[in-house]
């Protein structure tokens, strides 16, 4: 299968071990792995995905990897390309920034933005995620878009195995705000981006961010539950009760300020409503803790890597910061 890896994208890879020592080296393609041309570190190739996972992991990242592998396995079919209307609209407005570029979808989950990148006639797309969702992403992408050059990495935002300024356009949404260390990933994303970076982060300003932060109160209990199936079932019971109360609200024609009748109707008509709410509850529950950071935090760290913030947008989920490479030194 190695001949399927596009060489124009492989040239952007760099050995994480060497990167730690501030040395950018090439990775060479072998039969079932890529190998560092300098230190001979070997990164295996499994089901079309290059595995970098064993590097620089801590206990909290391990939990994120485990819980998101479970999340995407349970919810993949619910969160596909057609389900992301709001972000899709934002990407339409920003399409000019990624038309004909080499695109990186960092912490891509199941790769639900793939269609946007393919429609923009990307020179090539690199997807990476720390969880097993990257295998799903690879499989689904190859089935749908076999002719678009793409590379799939199991890798961490804390140590992105790419050369500095190698990527024309980087997209990372819904992840950096969930991590314990937000400085390193922000700097890493800015480091590897040549032109534009869009960082979509959960903040205390967005609706989803408020929910995530609110749930921090019960996280010390939740995080003791190691059996994710139990946690998922618990979310299922809560989702069932929520849908039941939505039905009562609808029947009684009661109006809630944060849930207009139209949205209520949409939820009740969705045949997957219980499962969808179950997954949406499971997601913020499984994150160990969400830390609040202000805009200036992201702006400052990106700026230290020559990326200047030029625009912001907001949807229910994230605040989006558009950065642009500027020679500011
Ligand atoms: C809320 S999901 C967002 C996924 C995707 N960007 C989307 O919008 O559909 C967060 C994703 O970040 C990934 N993730 C968490 N920590 C990570 C890390 N340190 N490095 C790379 N990916 C990470 C998880 O596995 C998960 O797929
Ligand atoms: Zn090396």
- In this model, does residue 295 exceed pLDDT 80? no
287 CA to centre of ligand 2 in angstroms? 32
115 CA to centre of ligand 1 in angstroms? 18
To test the pocket of ligand 1, the residue of 60, 107, 133 to mutate (highest count of ligand atoms within 8 Å of its CB) is: 107
Distances (CA, A) of 32 to 49, 50, 77, 132, 257: 10, 9, 30, 19, 56
Which tens digits make up the pLDDT trace of 216-246?
888 788 878 888 899 899 999 999 999 999 9
Average pLDDT over residues 59-77: 83
Q: Which residues surround ligand 1 with Cβ inside 6 Å?
A: 61, 64, 68, 107-109, 112, 129-131, 133, 156-158, 173-175, 179
- Note the pTM of the prediction, 2 decimals: 0.90
Q: What CATH number is given for 2-205+292-325 in this structure?
A: 3.40.50.150
Residue 82 corresponds to which tokens in the numbers above? 């057609």
- In this model, does residue 282 exceed pLDDT 50? yes
- In this model, does residue 26 exceed pLDDT 50? yes
| 64 Cβ contact partners less than 8 Å away, ≥ 6 residues apart | 130, 131, 178, 179, 287, 288
pLDDT band at 283 (very low <50, low <70, confident <90, very high): confident
Which tens digits make up the pLDDT trace of 107-151?
999 999 999 999 999 999 999 999 999 999 999 999 999 999 999
Long-range contacts of 10-14 (CB under 8 A, 24+ apart): 10/34, 10/151, 12/102, 12/126, 12/162, 12/163, 12/166, 12/167, 13/50, 13/151, 13/153, 13/161, 13/162, 13/163, 14/161, 14/162, 14/163
Parallel, antiparallel, or unpaired: how do β-strands 167-173 and 193-201 relate?
parallel
Q: What is the pLDDT of residue 25?
A: 97
DSSP secondary structure letter of residue 272? T
Considering every ligand atom, which ligand is closest to the CA of 290? 1
Q: What is the pLDDT of residue 98?
A: 96
Considering every ligand atom, which ligand is closest to the CA of 42? 2
pLDDT band at 255 (very low <50, low <70, confident <90, very high): confident
């Amino acid at each position: 299968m190695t001949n399927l890896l596009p060489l124009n994208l492989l040239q952007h890879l760099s050995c994480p071990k060497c990167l730690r020592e501030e040395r950018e080296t090439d990775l060479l393609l072998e039969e079932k792995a890529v190998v560092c041309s300098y230190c001979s570190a070997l990164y295996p190739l499994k089901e079309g995905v290059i595995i970098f996972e064993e590097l620089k992991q801590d206990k909290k990242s391990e939990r994120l990897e485990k819980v998101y592998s479970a999340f995407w396995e349970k919810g993949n079919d619910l969160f596909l390309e057609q389900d992301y209307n709001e972000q899709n609209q934002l990407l339409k407005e920003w399409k000019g920034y990624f038309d004909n570029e080499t695109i990186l979808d960092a912490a891509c989950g199941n790769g639900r933005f793939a269609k946007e990148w393919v429609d923009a006639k990307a020179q090539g797309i690199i997807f990476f995620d720390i969880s097993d969702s990257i295998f799903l992403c690879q499989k689904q992408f190859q089935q749908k878009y076999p002719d678009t050059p793409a590379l799939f990495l199991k890798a961490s935002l804390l140590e992105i195995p790419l050369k500095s300024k190698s990527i024309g356009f980087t997209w990372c949404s819904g992840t950096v705000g969930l991590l314990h260390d937000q400085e390193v990933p922000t700097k890493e994303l800015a480091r590897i981006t040549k032109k534009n970076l869009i960082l979509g982060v959960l903040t205390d300003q967005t609706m989803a961010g408020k929910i995530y932060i609110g749930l921090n109160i019960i996280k010390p209990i939740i995080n003791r539950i190691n059996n994710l199936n139990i946690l998922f079932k618990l979310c299922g019971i809560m989702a069932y009760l929520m849908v039941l109360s939505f039905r009562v609200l609808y029947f009684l024609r009661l109006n809630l300020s944060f849930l207009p009748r139209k949205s209520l109707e949409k939820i009740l008509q969705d045949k997957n409503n219980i499962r969808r709410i179950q997954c949406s509850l499971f997601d913020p529950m499984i994150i160990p803790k969400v830390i609040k950071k202000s805009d200036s935090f992201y702006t400052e760290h990106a700026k230290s890597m020559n990326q200047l913030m030029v625009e912001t947008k907001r949807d229910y989920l994230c605040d989006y910061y558009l950065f642009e490479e500027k020679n500011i030194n």
